[in-house]
Amino acid sequence: MSAIIATTSTSVTVEDVRKSYHHHEVLKGVSFTVPANTVTSILGPSGSGKSTLLRCINRLIPIDGGTIRVGDQLIGYENRGGRYHELSDRDLCRQRQRIGMVFQNFNLFPHMTVLANLVEGPQVVQRRPRRETETEARELLALVGLAEKADQYPGQLSGGQQQRVAIARALAMKPELILFDEPTSALDPELVGEVLDVMRRLADEARTTMIVVTHEIGFAREVSDQVVFMADGVVEAAGAPTVVLDPDHSPRIRSFLARGLH
Amino acid sequence: MSITERTTTSPVAEFVPRRHPWRIVGIVVVLLAALALAAVVVLNPRFQWNVVFHYLFDPRILSGLWMTIFLTFIAMVVGLVIGVVIAVMRVSASRTLRWSSGFYIWFFRGTPVLVQLVFWYNLGYLFPDISIGIPFADPWFTARTNDLITPLLAAILGLGLNEGAYLAEIIRAGILSVSSGQREAATSIGMTRAQSFRRIVLPQAMRVIIPPTGNETIGMLKSTSLVSVIALSDLMYSAQSIYSRTFEVIPLLLTASVWYLVLTSILSFGQSKIEDHFGRGVTAEAGLSGRNGMLHMLRRTGRKA
């Protein structure tokens, strides 16, 4: 697994990040650190700003305050002479190439075959040769157990298969960090396991840095090195899963766990 | 009791498809009506079919036909280029671009295309000379407007600019039909906005854009007949100039109509081919695209008959 993904994983530092929509503050100064080669799960009730935060990390959403660093690189800005200058579109695109993302609704490109979905980024964005990228894409598909689906269209696959293709598509860019936005929330219950298995293998074998917004408390417990619990736009607790996901940690976490464990 | 008996005696029951006797009746009625209509039209000597076919391949009609095809093609190409640009401006983040493109659509959609044609044709009346250069300084280049704006150019400008406004709205609807998640996914793999538009958004928008654009093309085919007001000899103008001398008005209008029908048939066929192409991945899972579905139905009814 690690042979194909051959990435250098990187750390992420989120510091005092703020974001408002129409005078409503969604993120009220969020800070946490994700060490390289680790998995961080972000949990919390809906509306706590988890997905917004994730989109800020690859700047699908620009932030209003604070800083986000991926490795040694400041996201969205360049520090010149003590001032943060906003980056050009082209530089932003260059930064995003290092950050993979997996979406709740898969967002595969429906007009392209599975293989074409995987090679789109490497060929169009990274301008790498066709043969090389196709070979790699087929290996990635084999890795997620979908080698025989290369020539099918996303619409012909089940939700779980689509999400595994989406993970392979993110991996095809050889990212240093992968963001997962509720990757199993849109799946039928019996399909959740196959996607979590792939993510678990990514964490264990490839040691990719992963930030996972999820409602799967079991996954967060077993796979994460760190759990960040968010509520009302702030980090309520961050630390090892056993510490944070303890009903005695705080009343909020207790009620969240009680609801999640039904 | 009897049910259990039957299932035990014949475990593999035969499926008998439902009969549709009224469909047969419908087919017979339609066929008879069609025959009657054909008889009335073909056997009526006042249609003068011999005249219709005599002029069908007349050199004047054919050269008019080419002008119609050429104008339709060029006007649609101009319209598409303008349409894409205006549509992208309409959905842009910049208010200036949104408003100026909105103004374009408001103006060119809001005035009759006939007026626009005449306006371009008579541009020389409003601006006798056209100069290129910095305002209020000596121009680098000056020409008489009437030398620049030929009837053909006036026709292309009039039809193309007008069409651009309509196509812009069609293309905008297509762009908006693509979910924002597609744009996010394209952005997340590092695509620039241009790459994302060209590779991800536009191909998917095409599915929504093609059918109304097919309509527009067919509409344009017939709108080109308006250029007769600026003395450009398209198909319609050629037919008119013949019947104004021979007074065979109806037969020559039929001659032109035959050609218009031939062209629209070709366009409709092309449209369904293009729709199949851009339906990739969407119609694949359903198994039956529009046309294949029809074929499938025909085959089924054929088997039964």
pLDDT digits (tens, 9 = 90+) for B109-143: 999 999 999 999 998 888 888 888 887 777 788 88
The rounded distance, in Å, linking the Cα atoms of B281 and A140 is: 21
Instruction: Kindly give, in sequence order, each residue whose CB lies less than 8 Å from that of residue B106, ignoring residues fewer than 6 positions away.
Output: none
Instruction: Give B286's pLDDT tier (boundaries 50, 70, 90).
Output: very low
The rounded distance, in Å, linking the Cα atoms of A258 and A172 is: 38
Confirm or reject contact between B278 and chain A (CB < 8 A): yes
The rounded distance, in Å, linking the Cα atoms of A166 and A164 is: 5
Q: Which residues of A touch B (CB under 8 A)?
A: 55, 58, 60, 89-90, 93-94, 96-97, 99-101, 103, 105, 107-113, 120-121, 124-126, 153-156, 169-170, 173
A124 neighbourhood in chain B, CB within 8 Å: 191, 195, 199
Identity of the highest mean pLDDT range in A78-92, A160-174, B3-17: A160-174
Instruction: Kindly give, in sequence order, each residue whose CB lies less than 8 Å from that of residue A211, ignoring residues fewer than 6 positions away.
Output: A12, A34, A39, A40, A42, A54, A57, A177, A178, A179, A180
Look at residue B135 in the predicted model and tell me its pLDDT: 79
Single out the residue of A192, A194, A110, A112 nearest to residue A146, CA to CA: A194
Look at residue B301 in the predicted model and tell me its pLDDT: 43
The rounded distance, in Å, linking the Cα atoms of B273 and B211 is: 11
Contact A110 B190 (CB under 8 A): no
* Res B265 pLDDT > 50: yes
Look at residue A30 in the predicted model and tell me its pLDDT: 94
Residue with tokens 């709108």: B223
Instruction: Kindly give, in sequence order, each residue whose CB lies less than 8 Å from that of residue B267, ignoring residues fewer than 6 positions away.
Output: B214, B217, B218, B221
Q: Where are the alpha helices (DSSP H) in chain B?
A: 2-9, 21-43, 49-56, 59-90, 95-110, 113-121, 123-126, 145-148, 151-177, 180-188, 193-195, 202-223, 235-246, 249-278, 283-286, 290-304
Quote the longest CA-to-CA distance of chain A: 55
Distances (CA, A) of B221 to A149, B87, B152, B196, B249: 44, 23, 15, 33, 21
CB B56 within 8 A of CB B258: yes
The rounded distance, in Å, linking the Cα atoms of A96 and A107 is: 17
User: Residue A69: enclosing H or E segment and its boundaries?
Assistant: strand A65-70
3-state class (DSSP) for residue A114? helix
CB atoms within 10 A of CB B125: 10
Which two three-digit tokens encode residue B52? 């219709």
What average pLDDT does range A165-183 have in this prediction?
Answer: 95
3-state class (DSSP) for residue B142? strand
Q: For B23-37, what is each residue's pLDDT tens digit?
A: 999 999 999 999 999
Contact B187 A96 (CB under 8 A): yes
Instruction: Kindly give, in sequence order, each residue whose CB lies less than 8 Å from that of residue B17, ignoring residues fewer than 6 positions away.
Output: B304
Q: Tell me the whole-structure pTM to 2 decimals.
A: 0.81
- Was domain B49-300 assigned CATH 1.10.3720.10? yes
Q: For B62-79, what is each residue's pLDDT tens digit?
A: 999 999 999 999 999 999
What are the percentages of helix, strand and coil residues in chain A, rounded to 5? Answer: 40, 25, 35
A120 neighbourhood in chain B, CB within 8 Å: 189, 199
Look at residue A4 in the predicted model and tell me its pLDDT: 57
The rounded distance, in Å, linking the Cα atoms of B3 and B24 is: 34
Which two three-digit tokens encode residue A154? 């996303």
* Res A6 pLDDT > 60: no
Tell me how many residue pairs between chain A and chain B have CB atoms under 8 A apart.
81
Look at residue B1 in the predicted model and tell me its pLDDT: 46
* Res B267 pLDDT > 70: yes
Look at residue B300 in the predicted model and tell me its pLDDT: 43
What average pLDDT does range A60-66 have in this prediction?
Answer: 92
User: How close does chain B come to A262, measured CA to CA in Å?
Assistant: 31
The rounded distance, in Å, linking the Cα atoms of A91 and A120 is: 19
User: How close does chain B come to A2, measured CA to CA in Å?
Assistant: 21
Residue of A nearest to B203 (CA): A111
Instruction: Kindly give, in sequence order, each residue whose CB lies less than 8 Å from that of residue A261, ignoring residues fewer than 6 positions away.
Output: A217
> Domain locations in chain B?
49-300
Q: For B165-208, what is each residue's pLDDT tens digit?
A: 999 999 999 999 999 999 999 999 999 999 999 999 999 999 99
Distances (CA, A) of B247 to B6, B70, B239, B241, B253: 79, 28, 11, 10, 11
B199 neighbourhood in chain A, CB within 8 Å: 120, 124
Which two three-digit tokens encode residue A203? 């964490």
